[in-house]
């Protein structure tokens, strides 16, 4: 009898050891709120619904060594309401046109001060989805705006207007880049304070307010 008990005890310890080994090799992943918000617990394809909008860009891997580790760019589900100019400060903010620079551009434009502008509108934008508030939006760079056009609007996604959208990238000290979502053409349609560029002949210029679609990285 004692031999059977000993064998049973050894078998029990063996099973426990095997389970613990499997657990160590194949840990169960429990996604907390932080990982859900960052997106690191899920893979996305361009055009997929993201945590708060639509995924329009995948850089293929997460960044490393940066304060914010990101792989995907996500477009807000709708345009910002209201009329905003690019900036009332006609001085270079040293913005970039590259993908991945929209956040830095937005911060630089806001740091210049001036009247409420498109960059500040995106920084103030927020969306609550499933009890989570997403408030880390920014005005896309020229490159990011183009990727949004190619990855979403060209496939009929995103509910964009076939009109001009404003970027956070400067073409010069006096004019920003914009992109027409009717044909995907980048232009310098307005100057920073929203007047036509170039101004019309023989008529007083009237402000032109372009569409604004905020984005976030995850």
The pair of three-digit structure tokens given for residue 214, joined into one six-digit string: 């905020």
Q: How far apart are CA 125 and CA 2, in angstroms?
A: 72
Say whether pLDDT at 8 is over 50: no
pLDDT top residue among 202 and 129: 129
Evaluate whether residue 25 is within a structural domain. Answer: no
Note the pLDDT of residue 65.
59
Q: How far apart are CA 152 and CA 75, in angstroms?
A: 9
Q: Could you tell me the pTM of the whole model? A: 0.80
Evaluate whether residue 101 is within a structural domain. Answer: yes
Residue with tokens 């031999």: 3
pLDDT mean over 196-206: 80
pLDDT mean over 198-214: 86
Sign of the C-alpha dihedral, residues 85, 73, 67, 178? negative
Q: Which long-range contacts (CB under 8 A, 24 or more apart) does 129-137 make?
A: 129/51, 129/52, 132/33, 132/36, 132/37, 132/51, 132/52, 134/37, 134/51, 134/52, 134/216, 136/216, 136/217, 137/76, 137/214, 137/215, 137/216
Question: How long, in residues, is the chain?
Answer: 218
Q: How far apart are CA 85 and CA 187, in angstroms?
A: 16
Domain count of the chain? 1
Q: How far apart are CA 39 and CA 26, in angstroms?
A: 21
Q: Residue 44 — pLDDT band, cuts 50, 70, 90? A: very high
Evaluate whether residue 24 is within a structural domain. Answer: no
Note the pLDDT of residue 115.
83
Evaluate whether residue 14 is within a structural domain. Answer: no
Note the pLDDT of residue 206.
85
Evaluate whether residue 22 is within a structural domain. Answer: no
The pair of three-digit structure tokens given for residue 74, joined into one six-digit string: 């996500």
- Residue 90, CA distances (Å) to 108, 187, 213 in order: 13, 18, 23
Mean pLDDT, the chain, whole residue set:
83
By the 8 A CB rule, do 36 and 44 touch? no
% of the chain at pLDDT higher than 90: 65
Q: Residue 114 — pLDDT band, cuts 50, 70, 90? A: confident
Spatial CA neighbour of 160 closest among 170, 145, 141? 145
Evaluate whether residue 7 is within a structural domain. Answer: no
pLDDT mean over 58-70: 78
Structural domain range at position 109? 33-217
Say whether pLDDT at 35 is over 60: no
Evaluate whether residue 12 is within a structural domain. Answer: no
């Amino acid at each position: 009898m004692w031999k059977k008990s000993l064998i049973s005890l050894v078998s029990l310890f063996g099973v426990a050891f095997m389970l613990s080994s499997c657990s160590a090799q194949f840990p169960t992943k429990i996604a907390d709120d932080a990982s859900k918000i960052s997106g690191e617990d899920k893979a996305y394809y361009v055009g997929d619904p993201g945590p708060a909008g639509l995924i329009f860009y995948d850089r293929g891997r997460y960044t490393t060594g940066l304060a914010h580790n990101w792989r995907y760019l996500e477009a807000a589900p709708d345009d910002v309401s209201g009329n905003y100019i690019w900036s009332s400060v006609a001085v270079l903010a040293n913005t970039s046109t590259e993908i991945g620079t929209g956040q830095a551009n937005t911060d630089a434009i806001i740091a210049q001060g001036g009247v409420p502008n498109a960059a500040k509108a995106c920084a103030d934008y927020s969306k609550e989805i499933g009890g989570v508030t997403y408030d880390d939006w920014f005005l896309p760079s020229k490159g990011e705006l183009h990727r949004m056009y190619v990855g979403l609007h060209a496939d009929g996604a995103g509910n964009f207007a076939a009109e001009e959208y404003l970027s956070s990238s400067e073409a010069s000290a006096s004019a920003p880049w914009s992109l027409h979502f009717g044909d995907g053409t980048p232009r310098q349609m307005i100057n920073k304070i929203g007047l036509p560029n170039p101004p019309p002949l023989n008529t007083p210029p009237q402000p032109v307010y372009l569409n604004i679609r905020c984005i976030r990285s995850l």
